[in-house]
């Protein structure tokens, strides 16, 4: 156990014995002898349960309970009270305490009550996590694109069932996000979601990963290992890049789906497993069947419901929504405070074809937030392959006459030369004022700054 329990009581001897008893049960325990110190520990440390005496030398336990719940409303508090103060303990429960124990404390009763309180906290946290994950899944799946709204409706319909699902789409389109959403919306949400990338694990290890093995099954099998199929019992097994699974394992997987049982390598009996299988692929499995690299009977077992995810280039209207979600994620995990993306940067992102799909967009946002020196992501924070989509000839064509280009001339070099000449001319006409030069060129100041960096142009004073 890693749960940490805080004891707030001014009786040092009692704190010592409670701490010893809790640590014998596998918990971490810390003690505070005053209300002030107890509140400080709650505010600064990860605490999972509080044992609180209502009579403290520097404050009232009721007031401290109120302050604790302001810091963490989900933190369970068990009140410790004398027989004469039971009414106060009942009042504390009305204010949010989980339970109360009378002194002298029965250690067995304490152990049972603490375990229940911690289980209650864990369940609330899991419910909150699932709700957050479900909201985020919907945020990333449902956009302005009709096909994605249709996919979300299909997910909502298929999630309550046990039907196998095959998710098809290019790499990086979010197939695992869809699989996770199906799991989170299903009755299996409280059980495990076990993902495995069939392409990432060598063929020689895949069988042991999926099925596990008994001790002595082969030379290095010194102890029993549970397989991922067994670990997914009651939950969902997600097989990514299923097309790379070798034929002999395809046959074994088919048997598991048909018999709902599995056997560890070296085992002598089958074990019943209740699992849902969701598979994903970036290949056309029907073509793989024609090539005899994928079993047709397994395909029909896996494809009870098929979900086709379109590439990001076919739903560019959703770039804004994905970008906002990723910014929120990175702000939470990296302590950054980026508020959004400039209009010019968003315009370029909507023009880009995103060959790496949503995964590439996530990487671009992460990179931009690292490089960003403002509270918004600007054009200069985007990678060159996105900014280069800005048409070079958009630089105020009337500033300079564009010379005819002879056949066989390097067009990219010619366009770059024209851009440099236009920028230089605009800066000269505006005496180095970047804002005025950008307006003259018909671009944003961010695009001008990026182009100046790209061509190593300096303002001449």
Among 335, 369, 389, which residue terminates a domain?
A: 389
Tell whether the model's pLDDT for residue 333 goes beyond 90.
Answer: no
So what's the pLDDT on residue 396? 42
pLDDT digits (tens, 9 = 90+) for 171-182: 999 899 899 999
Same domain assignment for residues 164 and 107 = no
Domain of residue 242, residue span = 155-310
150 assigned to some structural domain: no
**How many CB atoms are located within 10 Å of the residue 228 CB?**
21
So what's the pLDDT on residue 392? 47
13 assigned to some structural domain: yes
Round to whole Å and give the CA distance between 156 and 165.
13
So what's the pLDDT on residue 299? 96
pLDDT (mean) for 207-236: 84
So what's the pLDDT on residue 335? 73
3-state DSSP assignment of residue 108: helix
CB–CB of 61/52 below 8 Å? yes
57 assigned to some structural domain: yes
DSSP H helices in 335-454: 343-351, 357-371, 384-387, 411-429, 434-441, 445-454
Question: What average pLDDT does the structure give for the chain?
Answer: 84
So what's the pLDDT on residue 236? 93
CATH classification at residue 261: 3.40.50.300
CATH classification at residue 334: 1.10.8.60
Tokens read off for 377: 């992501």
130 assigned to some structural domain: no
Out of 67-81, 246-260, 330-344, give the one with best mean pLDDT. 246-260
Q: What is the CA radius of gyration of the chain?
A: 31
260 assigned to some structural domain: yes
Same domain assignment for residues 29 and 115 = yes
pLDDT digits (tens, 9 = 90+) for 281-295: 999 999 999 999 999
Q: How confident is the model at residue 9 (pLDDT cuts 50, 70, 90)?
A: very high
Q: At what angle do helices 35-44 and 61-71 cross, to 10 degrees?
A: 10
CB–CB of 275/235 below 8 Å? yes
Out of 187-201, 224-238, 301-315, give the one with best mean pLDDT. 301-315
So what's the pLDDT on residue 55? 86
Tell whether the model's pLDDT for residue 254 goes beyond 50.
Answer: yes
Round to whole Å and give the CA distance between 341 and 324.
8
pLDDT digits (tens, 9 = 90+) for 385-409: 888 755 443 444 444 444 554 555 5
Round to whole Å and give the CA distance between 160 and 458.
62
Same domain assignment for residues 193 and 228 = yes
437 assigned to some structural domain: yes
So what's the pLDDT on residue 400? 46
Tell whether the model's pLDDT for residue 214 goes beyond 80.
Answer: yes
pLDDT (mean) for 89-113: 86
Same domain assignment for residues 111 and 64 = yes
Longest dimension (CA), the chain: 101
- Per-residue burial over 270-281, b if 16 or more Cβ lie within 10 Å, else e, is eeebebbbbbbb
So what's the pLDDT on residue 397? 41
Same domain assignment for residues 208 and 255 = yes
| Number of domains composing the chain | 4
So what's the pLDDT on residue 399? 46
Q: Please calculate the CA angle 120-126-128 and round it to the nearest 5 degrees.
A: 105
Q: How confident is the model at residue 142 (pLDDT cuts 50, 70, 90)?
A: low
Tokens read off for 329: 């994620």
pLDDT digits (tens, 9 = 90+) for 198-208: 988 888 888 88
Q: How confident is the model at residue 6 (pLDDT cuts 50, 70, 90)?
A: very high
Q: How many helices (H) and strands (E) does the chain have?
A: 19, 18
Q: How confident is the model at residue 29 (pLDDT cuts 50, 70, 90)?
A: very high
Round to whole Å and give the CA distance between 72 and 223.
42
Task: Identify any residues that bridge with 102 across adjacent strands, giving them in sequence order.
Answer: 81
**How many CB atoms are located within 10 Å of the residue 45 CB?**
10
So what's the pLDDT on residue 412? 55
pLDDT (mean) for 338-360: 91
Same domain assignment for residues 214 and 289 = yes
Distance from CA of residue 329 to its chain's centroid?
8
So what's the pLDDT on residue 97? 87
């Amino acid at each position: 156990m890693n749960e940490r329990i805080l004891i707030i009581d001014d009786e040092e001897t009692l704190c010592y014995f409670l701490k010893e008893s809790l640590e014998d049960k596998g918990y971490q325990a810390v003690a505070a002898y005053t209300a002030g110190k107890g509140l400080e520990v709650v505010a600064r440390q990860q605490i999972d349960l509080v044992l609180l005496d209502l009579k403290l030398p520097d404050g009232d336990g009721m007031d401290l309970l109120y302050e604790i719940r302001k810091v963490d409303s989900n933190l369970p508090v068990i009140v410790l009270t004398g027989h004469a103060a039971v009414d106060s303990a009942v009042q504390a429960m009305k204010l949010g305490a989980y339970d109360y124990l009378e002194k002298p404390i029965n250690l067995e009763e304490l152990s049972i009550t603490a375990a229940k309180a911690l289980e209650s906290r864990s369940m609330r946290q899991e419910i909150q996590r699932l709700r957050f994950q479900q909201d985020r899944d919907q945020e990333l799946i449902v956009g302005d694109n009709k096909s994605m709204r249709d996919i979300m409706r299909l997910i909502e319909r298929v999630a309550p069932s046990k039907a196998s699902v095959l998710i098809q789409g290019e790499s990086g389109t979010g197939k695992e996000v869809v699989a996770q959403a199906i799991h989170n919306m299903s009755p299996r949400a409280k059980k495990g979601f076990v993902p495995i990338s069939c392409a990432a694990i060598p063929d020689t290890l895949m069988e042991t990963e999926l099925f596990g093995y008994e001790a002595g099954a082969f030379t290095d099998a010194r102890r029993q290992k549970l397989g991922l199929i067994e670990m997914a019992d009651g939950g969902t097994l997600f097989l990514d890049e299923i097309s790379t699974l070798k034929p002999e394992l395809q046959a074994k997987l088919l048997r598991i789906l048909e018999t709902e049982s599995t056997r560890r390598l070296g085992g002598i009996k089958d074990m019943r497993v209740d699992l849902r299988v969701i598979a994903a692929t970036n290949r056309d499995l029907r073509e793989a069947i024609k090539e005899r690299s994928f079993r047709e009977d397994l395909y029909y077992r896996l494809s009870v419901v098929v979900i086709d995810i379109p590439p990001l280039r076919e739903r560019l209207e959703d770039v804004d929504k994905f970008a906002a979600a990723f910014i929120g994620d990175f702000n939470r995990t990296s302590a950054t405070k980026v508020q959004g993306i400039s209009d010019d940067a968003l315009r370029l992102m909507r023009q880009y074809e995103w060959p790496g799909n949503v995964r590439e967009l996530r990487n671009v946002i992460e990179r931009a937030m690292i490089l960003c020196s403002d509270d918004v992501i600007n054009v200069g924070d985007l990678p060159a392959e996105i900014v280069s989509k800005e048409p070079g000839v958009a630089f105020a064509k009337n500033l300079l006459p564009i010379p005819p280009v002879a056949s066989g001339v390097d067009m990219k070099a010619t366009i770059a030369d024209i851009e440099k000449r236009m920028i230089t001319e605009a800066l000269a006409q505006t005496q180095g004022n970047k804002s005025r030069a950008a307006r003259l060129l018909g671009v944003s100041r961010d695009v001008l700054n990026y182009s100046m960096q790209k061509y190593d142009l300096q303002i001449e004073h």
